[in-house]
Amino acid sequence: MQLSAITLYNYVPMKNIFTLPFRVQIEPKLKQAVLLLLVFFAGLPAYAVKPTTKVNVAGINITTVNPPALLVDGCPPLSTLPCDQLSVPLPFSLSFSSGVANSLLDKNGLGTGFKLADAYSGTRSSADGTPTNINVRGYEAAKLTVTGGHLQIVSSKGIASTTSNNQINALGVQVNSRIKLQIETTLINPHYGTSFQQAGIWFGLNDKTYVKLVATDNKVEMRREINDAAGTSSSDQRVTATITGLNTKTVRLRLIIDPATNTIEGFYSTDGTTYLNVGASYTTKTLSIANTGLTTSTANTGIFATYRNGTSPITYTFDEFNIKSLTTTPPACNYQKQCIPGSRSFR
């Protein structure tokens, strides 16, 4: 029989940067065409294979089909959950008192309450090993433990800093960033180290453009990074003086995102009542996030920990995580879901 045409079904179509073998449903007499197809696609990134791909190999017209029902589960590369489950309504609160359904799991199978783990864009640190789940490369359940009303994170060496971009377990949820937000977390006895070990809050689009509020070196630091650029000037950071005994205290961090002024402002408290401004010693207490895209649609926010230049992992203990809206007038939206914060009408 002279082969002239063939249709093959890609059993596991992928949309990421890696390639998986093709499993084909085909009669044995067409084995020759199967072999030709596999040779042809050898090394071809899977994202190049469209839902329906037609090629001609050695005079044989070959059509590959990706059945929609066989698409990868979850929301690669951010989550094991479906993409439509990453966004959360406000207010949003996590107490870590028990497992939370429909969220990323800890090492014991308890839900952490967080919906996603930011996907690093750089090269993973060798000290952090290989990804457990290549589909969600920034998530390592083995380093997470929900216990006794706390979430413990065993820090990794990677960090989202300039072009390093290899932070592991930057846990988060997706929120509407067009409204004024207050994001809070609590750290129990945050580690005192001088090698950039840190833990706290992050808010951003990805590991290239984001802001953070962290406890580090017995100080509290608020910093922005825009397209992998993060300087040490006053335009990029607000840092307190050394806070004696910070590593022995319950430290509450509060980050305010204001789309009306396109600024962020950071606070901390060690008594749960009085909140001090991280930028108190600066002429301008806030940092600008204008023209970053952080407040134009949605953003991700959550918690993270890293031991950065330290010699060994550190376990950071988080007591809670909360997000609430500080916008009194809801944004008006048109039928295309385009919204203007603080506006009652949209034309």
Summarize pLDDT for 302-320 with one digit per residue, the tens: 999 999 999 999 999 999 9
Check whether 124 has a pLDDT greater than 70.
yes
Asked if 133 and 124 touch (Cβ cutoff 8 Å), the reply is no
Domain shared by 38 and 102, yes or no: no
pLDDT at 341: 55
* Residue in 163, 326, 160 with CA at minimum distance from that of residue 257: 326
Res. 230 pLDDT band, cuts 50 70 90: confident
Q: What is the DSSP letter of 87?
A: B
232-267: per-residue pLDDT in tens?
Answer: 778 899 999 999 999 999 999 999 999 999 999 999
- Domain extent at residue 17: 5-70
Domain shared by 181 and 310, yes or no: yes
20-50: per-residue pLDDT in tens?
Answer: 333 444 444 444 444 444 444 444 434 334 4
Compute the mean pLDDT over every residue in the chain, rounded to the nearest whole number.
84
87-96: per-residue pLDDT in tens?
Answer: 999 999 999 9
The amino acid sitting at 265 is: E
Q: How far is CA 218 from CA 52, 195, 246, 271, 341, in A?
A: 56, 12, 5, 16, 37
Q: Which of 17, 41, 70 is the last residue of a domain?
A: 70
Domain shared by 232 and 112, yes or no: yes
Q: How far is CA 83 from CA 44, 78, 230, 241, in A?
A: 26, 9, 30, 41
pLDDT at 168: 98
Domain shared by 166 and 202, yes or no: yes
CATH of the domain at 301: 2.60.120.200
Res. 68 pLDDT band, cuts 50 70 90: very low
* Residue 14 belongs to a domain: yes
* Residue 22 belongs to a domain: yes
Number of domains in the chain: 2
* Residue 315 belongs to a domain: yes
Tokens coding 208: 């290239």
Residue with tokens 């050898």: 42
Tokens coding 10: 């890609």
Domain shared by 90 and 55, yes or no: no
Residue count (the chain): 347
| Prediction pTM value | 0.77
